[in-house]
Amino acid sequence: MNRRTLLVSLPAALTAQQPPPPERLLATGALLASPMQLKPAPGRTSTVYRAAEGQWQFNLHSYMAFHEGRFWAMWSSGRVDEDSSNQFIQYATSRDGHTWSEARSLAPDPDGEDKPQRWIARGIYVRDGKLTALGALIESAAYGQRGKGEVWSNLQLMHFIWNGKKWETAGVFAPDCMNNYPPVKLGGRSAMPCRDSRMDMHFLLSAAPGQWSKVRIPSEPPNHRMDEPTWYEAADGSVHMIIRDGTRSGYLLRSLSRDKGQTWSSPVRTNYPDATSKNCTGRLSTGAYYLINNPHPKQRDPLAISFSPDGWVFDHPLSLRTGAPPRRYGGKAKGSGSIQYPHAIEHNGSLWVIYSTNKEDIEIGEYPIAGLPTVK
């Protein structure tokens, strides 16, 4: 290298910025050291579905979409307990996001309440102009078998299409797949993470409907029990998977891909606290990324949001909902005072977040984007 080349190349080397380590998902731990004291995001909360005596008292896995002038919500419902053999999928609609129709069945229990088949809602979105709903059909929820055998027997991810008057069954969407959110485009292909019947994590890529290639996510201890992932493509083109840690460390995990999801790094434990629950990520029209989760490591309250300019490090946390009421009905795996399992979309200048309160009620919050932090 001659002297002229050195003088030209050295400033570029000095100014090149390396991304922060993947462990640093939160700017500083002090931001979420007192999650119950977070400043509330300006917004409005409404009820989509309220559980009632003698009716469907378990309600979770809520998702939403906007299509042809209406909000659409879907979720899992059961008599009393989570993952019971009578679990099915309900839906409701709204013109304004706050006043909702009566709930109706989207995917009824296929074999009766005393038989093993049951549904878990897996997302609703618009695909090729058609409103599409996803549901996982299973015959067991044997979580004690994790690491030893099959957890979800005969797992199939099915899909349904709205024909303008009713939902039509459209068959298998992806075999042996428990996804977390509907697929989105990545490098020209549809992409989504999923867990198989043994709860092993994969990333699915598809260039054509129904044709999925499967990439396994590395799963070495101590970060090997990966659950309920979400993902996004950061501003620099890297792809980030944010994962619930099934070992109950109290923090989120992160895995990275730098080749559009074809290979992934081993997940690392981040400094972002989490109650071992489902998180939700996305990008606003302003360019800012958001991350929604339960940042109190000991409870699913509050439900909070933070923001990042590039998808690497998040800051400016706010509470979306703090102070859940006590539950009204008992049931297996139904903790009292909990707000969980968010899904979010942006529409008409607001971020809309749907979630379950106490695994009983489905509620929704509207948060005007003008009232959220500006990050650069």
- 10 Å CB burial of residue 299 (0-12, 13-18, 19+) is middle
Strands 156-162 and 130-138: antiparallel
Strands 289-293 and 104-107: unpaired
**What pTM does this model have?**
0.94
DSSP reduced 3-state for 33: coil
pLDDT at 9 over 90: no
pLDDT digits (tens, 9 = 90+) for 74-106: 999 999 999 999 999 999 999 999 999 999 999
pLDDT at 309 over 50: yes
Asked if the structure places residue 47 within a domain, the reply is: yes
pLDDT at 60 over 60: yes
pLDDT the model gives residue 16: 54
What CATH number does residue 160 fall under? Answer: 2.120.10.10
Asked if the structure places residue 117 within a domain, the reply is: yes
Work out the average pLDDT over 301-308: 98
Asked if the structure places residue 14 within a domain, the reply is: no
Domain count, the chain: 1
Distance CA 63, CA 230 (A): 14
Closest to 204 in 3D by CA, of 214, 217, 216: 214
pLDDT the model gives residue 261: 97
Asked if the structure places residue 10 within a domain, the reply is: no
Asked if the structure places residue 6 within a domain, the reply is: no
Asked if the structure places residue 376 within a domain, the reply is: no
Domain interval for residue 228 = 20-371
Query: Strands across the sheet with 280-283, in order?
Result: 280-283, 289-293, 303-308, 315-321
Q: Which residues pair with 237 in a beta bridge?
A: none
Alpha helix locations (H) across the chain? 3-15
Asked if the structure places residue 13 within a domain, the reply is: no
pLDDT digits (tens, 9 = 90+) for 155-172: 999 999 999 999 999 999
pLDDT at 15 over 90: no
pLDDT at 10 over 90: no
| Percent of the residues in the chain that have a pLDDT greater than 90, as a whole number | 93
Q: Around Cβ 71, how many Cβ atoms within 10 Å?
A: 22
Instruction: Find where tokens 């067991």 sit.
Output: 140
pLDDT the model gives residue 210: 82
- Residue, of 107 and 8, whose pLDDT is higher: 107
How high does pLDDT run on average in the chain?
94
What does DSSP assign to residue 27?
A: S
Work out the average pLDDT over 135-153: 96
pLDDT digits (tens, 9 = 90+) for 225-274: 999 999 999 999 999 999 999 999 999 999 999 999 999 999 999 999 99
Work out the average pLDDT over 195-203: 97
pLDDT the model gives residue 3: 37
Distances (CA, A) of 360 to 32, 77, 96, 133: 27, 9, 23, 21
Distance CA 103, CA 97 (A): 14
pLDDT the model gives residue 207: 82
pLDDT digits (tens, 9 = 90+) for 43-58: 999 999 999 999 999 9
Distance CA 285, CA 308 (A): 13
Distances (CA, A) of 249 to 131, 187, 265: 38, 33, 19
Distance CA 354, CA 364 (A): 4
Distance CA 270, CA 248 (A): 13
pLDDT the model gives residue 223: 94
**With the C-alpha atoms ordered 133, 137, 140, 143, is the resulting torsion angle positive or negative?**
negative
pLDDT at 322 over 90: yes
Work out the average pLDDT over 205-209: 87
Asked if the structure places residue 4 within a domain, the reply is: no
